[in-house]
């Protein structure tokens, strides 16, 4: 059991090889994850705006392990975040189902918004699935970057950098997204 002297809530900003990232947590789990930005202050502002918790020098063991895993991911390592506790207090059942289905996607595995909706038990709700993922408070841990639009198109991404960030994250996982290569020139008969 964790010591009661450890912080049960807080946030941390840390540097990775792809920029500054940040997380916030509660006693129940991760509440916010900020994807890479160029400076520490921008991440700090986003965390304070959303999380409202002070930075903490005392971090639960799972937070220490998560920061190390995020740094490994940013360095290009195949990293799983499926065991990270997530606090989704206040999130509706639809979004919880979508997030749960998304968490089952492995490193480098993608699907479409429509297929994810179907896997979550909400077939036909691709747009609503996209909206739910756009409100995802913990991207990377709930890997919304792995969800593509129909036809393998990149789709939207609400994190800083938009779809360019999404494409870079997928490329780090070995996934190529974009227009398909041009069709071969057909024979003339």
Q: Give me the active site residues, please.
A: 144
- Rounded to whole angstroms, how far apart are CA atoms 91 and 86? 11
- Cα–Cα distances in angstroms (integers) from residue 96 to residues 14, 28, 138, in the given order: 28, 16, 12
- Rounded to whole angstroms, how far apart are CA atoms 104 and 119? 10
CB atoms within 10 A of CB 114: 19
- Residue 19 pairs in a beta bridge with 16
Helix/strand/coil (H/E/C) assignment for every residue in 34-88: EEEECCHHHHHHHHHHHCCCCECCCCCHHHHHHHHHHHHHHCCCCCCCCCCCECC
């Amino acid at each position: 059991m964790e010591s009661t002297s450890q912080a049960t809530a807080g946030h941390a900003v840390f540097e990775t090889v792809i920029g500054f990232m940040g997380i916030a947590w509660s006693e129940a789990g991760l509440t916010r994850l900020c994807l890479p930005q160029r400076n520490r202050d921008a991440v700090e502002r986003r965390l304070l705006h959303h999380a409202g918790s002070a930075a903490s020098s005392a971090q639960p063991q799972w937070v220490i392990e998560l920061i190390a895993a995020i740094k490994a991911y940013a360095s290009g390592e195949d990293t799983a975040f499926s065991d990270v506790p997530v606090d989704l207090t206040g999130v509706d059942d639809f979004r919880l189902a979508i997030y749960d289905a998304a968490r089952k996607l492995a490193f480098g595995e993608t699907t479409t918004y429509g297929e994810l909706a179907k896997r979550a038990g909400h077939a036909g709700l691709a747009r609503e699935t996209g909206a739910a993922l756009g409100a995802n408070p913990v991207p990377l841990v709930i890997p919304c970057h792995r969800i593509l639009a129909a036809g393998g198109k990149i789709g939207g991404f609400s994190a800083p950098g938009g779809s360019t960030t999404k494409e870079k994250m997928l490329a780090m996982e070995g996934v190529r997204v974009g227009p398909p290569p041009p069709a071969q020139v057909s024979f003339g008969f």
